[in-house]
Structure formats: structure tokens, C-alpha cells
Structure 1
Amino acid sequence: METGAGIGLYPLHRCKTIYLVRHAQGIHNVDGEKNYKAYMSHEYFDAELTQLGWKQVDSLRKHVHSSGLHKKIELVISSPLMRTLQTAVGVFGGEGYTDMSDVLPLMVANAGNSSRAAISSLNCPPIITEESCREHLGVHPCDQRRSISDYQFLFPAVDFSLIESEEDKLWKADVRETIEELAARGKMFLNWLWTRKEKEIAIVTHSGFLFHTLNALQNECHPDVKTEICSQ
């Protein structure tokens, strides 16, 4: 073993299990993976999921249910962007919403041009949003969020109470967040998780956030773990 990369033992009551979920394919990813400059297009403002993305959501939902994770997860935390919200409610939401129900839906029908039926908030963990697990901030319109009022209309039973401002004050059109700033934000988010009472938490976030946050933690890990958590 490398010096300083030992094995730690922690009492179970001092541990949390977190499930890290990158959102399904967004409309910006299709062109962006071919040409990085496509991420600059305003056409992809707060990009929603593609139809392939929704198939990925359905596939992950089946795994979450068949493995029993849907009974263990106590809380879902989502980045407040369209693609992460759609992924969060699609994977972890309830079944069979009807207009006759007395409870609000997690997502109304066709939210974000999804062509999907409304999603129930019954028999599923609470879903809340948190700004600090957003994607790399600035310059790319796909990473700019819309107003909280717009999201509340589309996702009525999602909890947006942790979001402090109605409009997006974090995203800047001409300033891109540095990798160091993103990693520091990721660490701040993980520290905030320790203040939560829940022990098993799913995080629905973005590839850039995950990669740079986990990369910043690699020196605290055994070399074998480094290789695993720092893969793109």
C-alpha cells in the first residue's frame, strides 16, 4: 500500500450509504459528444432528456425495484435542472398517478417535452433539490436553470425549499467555474450530507460534478479505490 493510503474502520452508525446517479442522456449530450462547441448553443438551455434518456431512466428504475433499493433509500437529492429532475422522479417516483388522487404528482404529464404520463408521489422517498450538486457552472446554457416557479409547476411534489433564489444567480454567461471551485463545491455538498438524518441517500447529479468531486477525494483513498472512483 502507498504511504498514507490505509484502510479505515468506521462504526456503522457513523456511516451513510450514498447512491450516485448521473442523469440520463440529455438533448445537449447528443451533439455535445460529437462537437464540444455545441454546449454553447442556447437551443439547449436547461436541456431535457431525449427519448433514449427516458429509456435509460426506465431501465434504471427496473434495477432499483428488482434489487430492493427502492425500499432502502430514504431520500433522493436532485440537482435543480430539468434533466436531473426528470431522471430523479422517473427512477425513484411512485406508480400509477391519477387525477383522482388527493396527493400532488411528482411530475405533471409531458413535463419538459417528455411525452410521459404524470408520475405519482405515493410510496416513494421524498425528493428534494440542492444547488450545490449542480453541473459545472457558467457559459454553457444547458447548465443554466429556469425559475423555481417554473419547476414547481412541472414538479409539484418535489421539495424546492432549499433553493434560496427564484432566478439562477449562480450561472454566469461569461464566467466558467474553475475545476478547483467545482471540486470545493462538491466537498461542501458532501459535508452537508453529514447534517442529514437519513442514512441511505440517492444523489441525482451530473458527470462533471461527479468526476471532479470524486477526483478531489482520491488522495484519501487506497490506490485500488482511486482507480475505481476516478474513472470518467
Structure 2
Amino acid sequence: MDAVRGQGMYPLHRCKTIHLVRHAQGFHNVSGEKDHSAYMSPEFFDAALTPLGWKQVDNLQKHVHSKGISKKIELVVVSPLLRTMQTAVGVFGGGGFDDGIKAAPLMTENAGESDRPAISSLNAPPCVAMELCRERMIETDDDTLWTVDVREANEEVAERGQKFLNWLWTREESEIAIVTHSGFLIHTLSAYGDDCQPPVKEEICRPFNNCELRSMVFVDRSMAASSSSKTNFPGKIPDGTDAPSEDAVEKN
């Protein structure tokens, strides 16, 4: 038993590979680093990416292609804010329209005053915007308030994160990219890693840099997921005259 201490083995169909991405640098990050109260300003509620943020996107886009990640991803789930959608499309989108092949655009030219060319959906995985993985929500019907006493508490963000992960298990895709926000990632991941050694817990839960990608294996140990294996093979003995006899089977 000592040989397998600290290790785990799970059926493949009860696992998902999730690539967690924090959005690239937005204009709110620049102002917030100078004055943290700027994060509370309505001006930056739906901030766009900075020119540096777009450079970060380009670097991550090159990484996911060079490592073959982009070919494996079956679905991109993104927070429905401009900075996350710009990041998701820039990293996982289908590139430009220079080859003349027609495809629906994922992002139009200069979207969000970005001074960037249009990005097509050609060869790109499906992209779904999901409210559950957005930045802290404002607890008002018309979203007119933006003060600290009406924003979600950390515990509420963590609870919403668990609802989001439960929703992931309703998806058939087994390899998913998630483009979201630092606070959402921190509070969602804080529930994980307590059954691991401290360095592994720290690796799971440490804060994300802008445009950082971290790949995880997400395991369903509760049998809540209802999907069946797509790769298992039952190994039945074939019928017919050339099938092995019962004596041969017993000897084997």
C-alpha cells in the first residue's frame, strides 16, 4: 500500500480536463494597481483589454497552438464581459479572414475599440457565454449600484463557482477551456486540494496572473455524472465455432 500512497486512479469518463484562463490585462487592472478603489468604479465594470493585454493574448494563442491544446479543446466557456470574451476569442478563435474562406465572425474588426482585425470561427471550438463564471455580481435588479456593500461576498462567489462546476458535468465535452476572472477562480478553487500535500494545494489555489492558463483534471468521485465511457471495451468472448472452449478459458 505504501507504493500507491498519495496517488489516485479514476475512470476516465468520470474526469474532465479543464484549462482555466484568467483574462488578459484590462484597463481596470491598470487603474486598480495604482488605486485599488478604481476597481469599484462603474467606468471599469466592463473594461476592455489594453494593448499589453492583447500582446498577452497573442502569446497565449501561440502557446495553445504550439502545445496542441487548441486541437483538443471541445468547448470554450467564457464570462459574458468584454475583457473575457476578447481574451477567449483572441486565444481560441479561428484567426483572420486572409485565406478567403468564409466563416462566421467571432469578433468584428475593432471590437471594443481594440484596433484589432476581425477573428473568424473557422476551425474554432464552440464558445458559450455563461453568467455563473462572471466577475462578482451586483445584487440589484437594474445593476445601477456599484458599492462594496451590495456586491457578492466571497462565500457567495465560491457557492456560485460550485454551481458552475456542477453545470460543467452536464456537458458531454471532456476537454473544456474556461475564460474567467481572478476573484472567481480564487474563491472557486479554494474548496479543492485539502486532500493533497500543501505544495499541490498551493498550486491549485494560488492567484492567477493576467492571461495565465492552468490545466486541471476535474474528477467526479460522487458518481453524479451520468455519462458512460466512450473508450471502455467489454472483452466478451466471441460467439462461433472458433471461440475458445470453457476448459481453455479456465486454464487461462
TM class by shorter chain equals 0.7 to 0.9
**1:83-232 maps to which residues of 2 (within 5 A)?**
83-97=83-97, 102-138=102-138, 173-174=146-147, 175-232=150-207
- Contact 2:96 2:117 (C-alpha < 8 Å) held by counterparts: no
After the TM superposition, which of the residue ranges 78-87 and 89-98 deviates more from structure 2?
89-98
5+ long unaligned stretches in structure 2:
208-252
Report the TM-score when normalising by structure 2.
0.74
Deviation, structure 1 residue 65 = 0.6
Distance 1:170 1:180, change over 3 A: farther
Report the TM-score when normalising by structure 1.
0.80
Q: Give the root-mean-square deviation of aligned CA atoms.
A: 2.3
Partner of 2:41 in structure 1?
A: 41
How many residues are paired up? 201
Partner-residue secondary structure (3-state), 1:188: helix
The amino acid across from 1:133 in the alignment is C
Deviation, structure 1 residue 51 = 0.2
Larger radius of gyration: 2
Distance in 1 (CA, whole Å) between partners of 2:169 and 2:191 is 18
Distance in 2 (CA, whole Å) between partners of 1:95 and 1:170 is 34
Deviation, structure 1 residue 138 = 2.7
The amino acid across from 1:20 in the alignment is L
- Contact 1:137 1:172 (C-alpha < 8 Å) held by counterparts: no
Deviation, structure 1 residue 26 = 0.3
5+ long unaligned stretches in structure 1:
145-167
**Identical positions, percent:** 65
Distance in 1 (CA, whole Å) between partners of 2:98 and 2:105 is 9
Distance in 2 (CA, whole Å) between partners of 1:218 and 1:210 is 14
CA deviation map 1:68-114 (0-9, x unaligned):
11110111000000000000000000022269654320000000010
Is 1:10 aligned to residue 47 of structure 2? no
